[in-house]
Amino acid sequence: MARWCENCDRPVEGDVCEMCGNTVVEPPKESIPWRWRFFIVVTIIYVIWRIYQLISWLSH
C-alpha cells in the first residue's frame, strides 16, 4: 500500500516524497475495534450455547 504525502496531497513511493522531500511515515494499521471483538465473542458464545441446547434437547 502506497504512503501519502500530506504536503503534496499525493501518494508517495518509498520513505521520502520526491516532490517536497518530506519524510512520509507509514499510516498506523487499523486494528479491529473492540466493539467488533466484543460482538464476535458474544456471537460465538451464543452459537455454542445454542448448540449445547440442541444437543441436550436431542439427547432427551
In Å, how far from its chain's centre is CA 20? 31
Q: Which is nearer to Zn ion, 20 or 41 (CB)?
A: 20
What is the smallest separation between the CB atom of 3 and Zn ion, expressed in angstroms? Answer: 10
Give the C-alpha separation, 22 to 44, whole Å.
Answer: 46
7 binds Zn ion (CB under 5 A): yes
Closest to 40 (Cα-Cα) out of 48, 29, 30, 51: 48
Among 20, 41, 45, 51, binds Zn ion (CB under 5 A): 20
**Using CB under 5 A as the criterion, which residues of the chain lie in contact with Zn ion when the complex forms?**
5, 7-8, 17, 19-20, 22
